[in-house]
């Protein structure tokens, strides 16, 4: 994966597969500390200590389709290349937290990529779950909460073409307004 947006998509898909009904995605950019933080928290089934230990092994996966699980090992490697680190916390019945810290200005930090498309794919592809995306840049904040959007739309589904168009515009403008990194 060459973009952080694709790492986010991969982790959130794992969260939903683990039964998460609420996934929180936090991006925090702090130029003064040269920090790019990415945290994904879910209320899914969580992992046992044994599963947690094996989660960074590229040859371990719970998926039945393919026999390797490269997502988390690749994210961990990407953080380390920038002088950062990745942590993984999980408890059965509680959920999982994936935190990745990168050097914000480091030449090897992967670009964010097309986060709007990734978020739309997450939202439209998982109508039974809710998502909170919070992006902070030096104290300025963009927030997207599907629970609020669903409430405002009443019976209009989030996968309606006009809604997805609105979401794309809302995300793009919101991130531009706060000066989010590319």
Q: Tell me the pLDDT tens digit for each residue of 114-139.
A: 999 999 999 999 999 999 999 999 99
pLDDT surpasses 80 at 69? no
Minimum mean pLDDT range among 12-21, 62-71, 144-153, 159-168: 62-71
Give yes or no for a contact between 182 and 111, defined as CB atoms under 8 angstroms apart. yes
- Whether the per-residue pLDDT at 6 is higher than 70: the answer is yes
Residue 163, pLDDT > 90, answer yes
- For the chain, give the percent of residues with pLDDT over 70: 92
36-63 residue pLDDT tens: 999 999 999 999 998 888 887 766 555 5
β-sheet with 95-103: strand ranges across: 85-91, 95-103, 35-42, 22-30, 130-137, 140-145
* DSSP letter string, 140-169: EEEEEEHHHHHHHHTTS-TTSHHHHHHHHH
Mean pLDDT of the chain: 92
Fold of 4-177: Heat Shock Protein 90 (3.30.565)
The three-point CA angle 10-88-109 to 5° equals: 60
CA distance 161 to 43: 29
**pTM of full prediction above 0.75:** yes
């Amino acid at each position: 994966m060459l973009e952080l947006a694709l790492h986010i998509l991969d982790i959130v898909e794992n969260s939903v597969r683990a039964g998460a009904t609420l996934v929180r995605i936090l991006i925090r950019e702090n130029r003064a500390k040269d920090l790019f933080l990415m945290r994904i928290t879910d209320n899914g089934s969580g992992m046992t200590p044994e599963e947690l230990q094996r989660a960074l092994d590229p040859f371990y996966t719970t998926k039945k389709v393919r026999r390797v699980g490269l997502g988390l090992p690749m994210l961990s490697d990407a953080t380390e290349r920038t002088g950062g680190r990745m942590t993984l916390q999980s408890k059965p019945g509680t959920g999982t937290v994936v935190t990745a810290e990168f050097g914000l200005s480091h030449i090897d930090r992967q670009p964010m990529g097309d986060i709007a498309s990734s978020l739309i794919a997450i939202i439209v592809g998982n109508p039974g779950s809710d998502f909170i995306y919070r992006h902070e840049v030096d104290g300025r904040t963009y927030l997207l909460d599907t629970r609020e959007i669903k409430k405002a739309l009443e019976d209009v589904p989030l996968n309606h073409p006009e809604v997805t168009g609105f979401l794309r515009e809302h995300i793009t403008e919101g991130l531009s307004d706060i000066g989010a990194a590319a």
